[in-house]
Amino acid sequence: MVEVLKRLAEARGVTGNENEVRDIILELARPLADECYVDRIGNVIAKKKGSKGGRKVMIAAHMDEIGFIISRISDNGMLRFLPVGGIDQRILVSKRVLVGKDRVPGVIGVKAIHLQEPDERRKVINQKQMYIDIGARSREEAEKVVKIGDYASFDSDFVCFGDNKVKSKALDDRAGCSILLELLKDTYECDLYACFTVQEEIGLRGAEVAAYHIEPDLGLVVEGTTCADLPDVPDHLHTTRMGKGPAISFMDNSSIANKDLFKRMVKTAEDNSIPYQIKENVAGGNDAGRIQTSRSGVPTVVVSVPCRYIHSPSSVMDLDDFKNTHLLIQKFLKGVEA
C-alpha cells in the first residue's frame, strides 16, 4: 500500500489536469476490476461484481490536488499565476514548483523583504503579488517552455520519517485513492463501484457526475482530512488527532452522515478493535456532498485519514492511521449485504 501511495502522491494531478494520476490508477485498477472505464468528465470507475450482487455501493476518493494555473507571462519572463483550489497564501513564498507537461522547474517569488514598506511586512503577502521564476530572461524565452493555461504543481518528494510518519504533497486525497485500490483486491457480497473522482477541490464536480450515472444504494467517501493537533491550537480545534485512527464524520459543510451508516461504521471499528475517532469539526466538505443529493438521494458516510498541514507541499500522515482506515472500510464493506 505504501509503495502505491508514494507513486500516486508524487504524480502530478492539479484539478482539471488529473491525467498522470488517472493513468496510474487505470494501470493498477484494471487487473482488479470486472469493469474499468473513464467517464466523460474524467472519473475512473472500477466495478467489482459482488458474490451475490444486487446492491450497489459507491466508494469514492478524489484524484485531484490543489495547485496553480499560469495566467500571464510578463515581459521579464516571470509567470503570473492563479490558485486552483483552496491554498493558504502564507505557505507559497519560496516554494518549488513544476510547470507544464515538461515539468519546468520554478520557484514562487515575491519582492524581497528589504524592499517592502513596514506595513507590508506585517501583512500576509497576497498571491497576486507573487510570480513563478523559471529562470527565463524574457517573455520570448519563457514562451519556449511554458504557455498560458499550463498547470503548476508543488515539487515535493514523498518521504518516510520519524515515528511511522510520511510527508508529501497531495495526501488529500491520494491516501484515499490508494485505499480504494487495495479494497479492489477483495470480494464482497455487494457490487462495489470504486470511483476515483476529478475536480473535487473546486466543487465536487466529478462525484456529482459519477453518482448520477451509478445510482448507488449507498455512498462511502474516503478522504484525507484536517489534523491540527499542534501545541498552539486549543483542543476543541484539533478536529482530528494523528495516531488515533481513522476519523468518522457525523457532518461537514457539504453533507450530514446517514445516522444508520455512521453507527454501523463506529460499531464495525469497535467490534474489530480498530482504533477510530470522531471528526470534531464540521469545517470543509468532500464528495459526499454531491453523492448524497444525487437523483432521489443517497445515504452516505465519510471516513478520513488525519493529515497535518493539509493543502501544502508537506502534508504529514501516520501510516498506522492510513492502514487502519483501509481495515475499517474493508470490514464495513464485508458487512454490507447484497
Query: Which position among 18, 189, 200, 201 bears the catalytic label?
Result: 200
Query: Pairing state of beta strands 151-154 and 96-99?
Result: antiparallel
Q: 247 and 327: one domain?
A: yes
The confidence score (pLDDT) of residue 338 equals: 57
Same domain, yes or no, for 83 and 57? no
pLDDT above 90 for 112: no
**10 among known catalytic residues:** no
Q: Residue 163: inside a domain, yes or no?
A: no
**pLDDT, tens only, 201-242:** 999 999 999 999 999 999 999 999 999 888 888 888 889 999
- Residue 73: half-sphere exposure toward Cβ, Cα within 13 Å: 19
Q: Domain range spanning residue 55?
A: 2-65+169-334
Task: Count up the domains in the chain and report the number.
Answer: 2
User: For residue 207, is it within any domain?
Assistant: yes
Q: Are 270 and 186 found together in one domain?
A: yes
212 shares a domain with 121: no
Dist. CA 192–CA 55, nearest whole Å: 9
For residue 72, the surrounding DSSP H or E stretch is strand 67-73
Do 60 and 131 lie in one domain? The reply is: no
Please tell me whether residue 296 adopts helix, strand or coil conformation: coil
Residue 200 in contact with residue 62, Cβ under 8 Å?
Answer: yes
State the Cα–Cα distance between residues 95 and 46, nearest whole angstrom: 36
Residue 251: beta bridge partners?
Answer: 256
Domain boundary among 154, 179, 214: 154
Flag whether 159 is in a domain.
no
- Same domain membership, residue 40 and residue 12: yes
Per the domain annotation, does 162 fall within a domain? no
Would you say how long the chain is, in residues? 338
Does pLDDT of 267 surpass 80? Answer: yes
Q: Tell me, what's the pLDDT at 235?
A: 84
Here the CATH number for the domain that contains residue 196 is 3.40.630.10
Q: What is the CA radius of gyration of the chain?
A: 21
Calpha distance 198→177 (Å, rounded): 12
Distance CA 156, CA 97 (A): 8
Model-level pTM?
0.94
193 and 325 within one domain: yes
Q: What is the tens place of the pLDDT at every residue in 8-45?
A: 999 999 999 999 999 999 999 999 999 999 999 999 99
Report if residue 224 sits inside a domain: yes
* Residue 48 and residue 73 in one domain: no
Same-domain status, 267 and 176 = yes
94: number of Cβ within 10 Å? 9
In three-state secondary structure terms, 310 is coil
Residues 189 and 301 in one domain: yes
Residues 267 and 129 placed together within one structural domain of the fold: no
Which three cell numbers mark 45? 470507475
In a domain, 206, yes or no: yes
Answer whether residue 101 shows pLDDT above 80: yes
Q: Are 206 and 73 part of one and the same domain?
A: no
pLDDT in tens, 279-321: 998 878 899 999 999 999 999 999 999 999 999 999 999 999 9
Cis bond upstream, residue 235 (ω within 30): no
Residue holding cell 451475490? 52
3-class DSSP state of 105: strand
